Structures are given as C-alpha cells and as structure tokens.
Chain A
C-alpha cells in the first residue's frame, strides 16, 4: 500500500490525473488564476522572511526596514520582491476577475466560486492597505491617516470601525500594532481558507467554457496544463526578480510621532486605491462609502442577477456593466494621477519661489 492509499486519497488523485481543461479561443485566460496563486505564494514566503527582522513599533519599524535593506544579506531584494509582488498580485487578480467576468465563468455551478473570488479580492486589497503603513515612512503615515479616516463615513458603525482600525484617536503605535496584526495574522488566516476553497472548487468544477464557444480540444491537466502554468510562473518569477533588483522599492524618511510635520506634496495612496481617492474629491465620504459598498455587493451577487447567463445566453447588459466598471476605474485612476502630478508641480514651484535656504518641512531631521 502506498501513502496515497493510506490517506484514502486514491480517488482524488485519479480524478486529478484524468482531469482535462477545455481548450478554445480564450482559454489562455485560465492561466491567470494560477499566476495570481504564484504571486500569493511569493507573498507568503517573502512575508515570512521579513517577519524575522521587522519590528512593529513606531520607534523601530522604519529602522528595522532600513536594517533589512542595508545590512541583512539579500534583505533588499526580499523586501523589494515583497512590495513589487503585492502590486503584481493585485494587478493579476484584477485582470483575472474581469476576464472571468466577461467569460461569464460565474454561471452555475460556479456562483460560490465567484463569491470566494470577490472575497479574496477584498482581502488582497486589505493586505495592501495594512501592509502600506508598516515601514512607517512619511507617505505611509499620511496615507494611513487618510485611509483610516474614510470608514468614519460608514452609517452607524463609522466611528466604531475607525477606532477598531486605529486603536487610538489618531494614527499611533496602537494603529501600527493593529494593522500589523491584521496584515500578518488575521488576513492571512482568512486568505488561506478562501484561497484553498477557491482552488479546490476550481479543481472540482473545472474551468467554465464561455457562452457560445465550444471546446475545440482538451488539454490534460497533468502534465500539459501544469507545465504551461509552470512556464508562466517562471516568467513571472524572472520578471519579478529583474524589476525588484533594477528598481528597488523605495523607503521614504521616517515619520516621528513626537515631531509632527506637513505631508509631502501630492500625498496619495497606491495605484489600486487611486479610483477611491479620486471619487472622494467629487462626492462626500458617506456617499462614496455607500456607493462602493453597493457596487461590491452587486458585483458579488452577479451570478444570481445575470439570468441570461443561467440560460447560457450572452447578456449585453452585463457586458456593458463590465466595460463600464473598467472604464470607470481606469478613468478615475487617470484623473487622480493627473491631479497628483499637478499638485507636485505647484509644490515644486512654491519651493523655488519662496525658499533660499529655508528648510523643507517634509524632510524631518
């Protein structure tokens, strides 16, 4: 008897060996889910490594990150990979989400699979938000001040959510502890559960064939599909390493809680929150929070709303909803970057006109 028999895994193993993936005009999009899994695994490995040196206190956080990048062998690469890979993960997850949306992969029996995907998307944004403060540099501090202020607008629970996130009136060491706990404890736990569920469901249900297409052929999951995915992972790894080494992730000046300073000009969140940041310029916080909550819930229950898809028909309405969502996010993000560039431009101008030898308040000593 082999180990597999001892564990009563003969059936699933045989099923996996017999598994095939449909091949058709758009089946290359299937590989993106696997690529997201790759970047997620990179985050686990590099994150665990960083945990060996990182110290989550306002006094030590910035120093420990500096220590990792300047003193510890390979620390600079590991930290840079962690930051770049988080961005890659979010980007790939976005593309994966929209590609499965347009393929209507959420049709029965994959409705719950889609919902777990949306939950994972939110969790990953949560990782981005909580991780951003950890180096405790100037931009991180201000971005978190603003970011933790936004939920205040949530009806009824607003100030409770803010106090839960911050653990004190303002962004302090208490906030750092909390976001750290979320980043390395709470979120990974949930992410692990949902990633496992997502992958197992994908294995059970197989990949959905888009409406109106028929599988021209089939790819055996083992070994062809796995090998194809492996090639993609290797490309991902190569690009990630190259980018991380050539463009080391920057660490801004430390923020000193005891010496408050002005935010740097054009302070803004990471690109994946820019659409939200721009929205807040047009409508009040409560409206933005309500709007995006509704959008998110709508997005999660699409499998039940798209009745046409349930009858294997393409719904023009949902195609346009998808296009609108992408256009909206892209448009808002672009506008946000334009205004940030303008702010930085005016700030630079002010600097040259006002100051001969005056101290730059954004660079504390």
Chain B
C-alpha cells in the first residue's frame, strides 16, 4: 500500500499499521480465549450427600459424583468414614474398594492403593488418591471436593 514512499517512511508506516492491528485484535483474542477456557458443568453440584447407614460391612464403599468427578466413600475396618477421589492416577480409570486387600484396586491395569489411598510401589499408579473432607452430621454425610489437609490424614 505504501509502495510509493521512501523505504524508511514505508517501514515506519508498516510497523504502525501492524501495531495498530495487533492492538485491535488482542482484546478480542483475549476474550475468546477466556470464554473457551472456562471449566465447569452446568447444574453440577459441588457436594454429594449420602447416609452413613448405607455403608455396611457387606458393602463398605459407595461411588458418588461431585462436579462430574467420581468420588469413593468408604467405611474402613476401624469404622472411620473416609472419602477419596476415585480417579486412578495412572490413566484415569475408576478405582474400587477391596476390604480384603485392604485398600483400593484399579481393574484397568491392576493398580493398587493402601487404605490411606497411597499408591502401592510396584503397581502402575504414580501417585496417591486425594483424600477429601467428609462432613458427618449424625448419619448424614456431606462430601465436597475439598482435599483433606495433609496434617490431618
């Protein structure tokens, strides 16, 4: 467009145009990036409620969903009720509770975790399951995706 101008002025003008175009496009690119990178599920609940009475010695564990995440709630041998993320840290399968192990087992590639959700060395999972906060009000349990602080576990 600026072919008729001397080289120096032409370069300055071209740089100005390029700068202006970038400044114009940048906010739109930012907004679209923000819009598309949002995470969340519509109508997803951020807690799961269940009754402690449902966790019996015969079926000591239950899978619940929080914001699309599977969470496993277990009554362990010492009668304590604990909740862990049920997503296997290996490749994302859903783990199950095995009282006889005792601990968590992943069918997909034979991954194992102990009762504290710590991955058993020698099996595939590279890291432990995250323990979550369980709120006990008599028999009513409320689980959220809040990790239980390390010091407490």
A contacts, CB < 8 Å to B: 49, 52, 55, 60, 63-64, 67, 71-75, 77-78, 223
Contact = CB atoms under 8 A, between A and B. Distances in A.
A74 B34 contact: yes
Interface stretch (B37-45, B48-56, B77-85, B100-108): B37-45
B1 interface: yes
Interface in B59-98: none
B40 A49 contact: no
B43 A72 contact: no
Contacts of B36: 49, 52
Interface in B6-35: 31-32, 34-35
A77 B40 CA distance: 19
B35 A74 contact: yes
Nearest to B34: A73
B42 A73 contact: no
A63 B43 contact: yes
A145 to B, nearest CB: 26
A176 to B, nearest CB: 16
21 contacts: A49-B35, A55-B42, A60-B42, A63-B42, A63-B43, A64-B42, A71-B40, A72-B35, A73-B31, A73-B34, A73-B35, A73-B38, A74-B31, A74-B32, A74-B34, A74-B35, A75-B35, A75-B38, A77-B31, A78-B31, A223-B1
Contacts of B42: 55, 60, 63-64, 67
B83 to A, nearest CB: 26
Given A63-B43, A223-B1, A71 B38 contact: yes
A36 B99 CA distance: 68
Nearest to A50: B35
Contacts of B38: 71-73, 75
Interface of B: 1, 31-32, 34-36, 38, 40, 42-43
A339 B88 CA distance: 63
A72 B35 CA distance: 6
A49 B32 contact: yes
Contacts of B34: 73-74
Given A63-B43, A74-B35, 16 more contacts: A49-B32, A49-B36, A52-B36, A60-B42, A60-B43, A67-B42, A71-B38, A71-B40, A72-B38, A73-B38, A74-B31, A74-B32, A74-B34, A75-B38, A78-B35, A223-B1
Contacts of A73: 31, 34-35, 38
Contacts of A71: 38, 40
Contacts of A77: 31
A63 B36 CA distance: 18
Most buried by A among B31, B35, B43: B35
Most buried by A among B36, B38, B43: B38
Contacts of A64: 42
Nearest to A77: B31
A226 to B, nearest CB: 10
Nearest to B36: A52
A77 B27 CA distance: 13
- 5 closest Cβ pairs, A-B complex: A73-B34, A74-B31, A74-B35, A72-B38, A67-B42
Contacts of B31: 73-74, 77-78
A67 B35 CA distance: 12
Contacts of A60: 42-43
A49 B29 CA distance: 12
Nearest to A52: B36
A244 to B, nearest CB: 12
A77 B35 CA distance: 10
A249 B36 CA distance: 21
Nearest to B42: A67
A60 B36 CA distance: 19
Nearest to B43: A63
Nearest to A49: B35
A49 B32 CA distance: 8
A269 B31 CA distance: 32
Nearest to B30: A74
A240 to B, nearest CB: 13
Nearest to B28: A45
A63 B40 CA distance: 13
A172 to B, nearest CB: 21
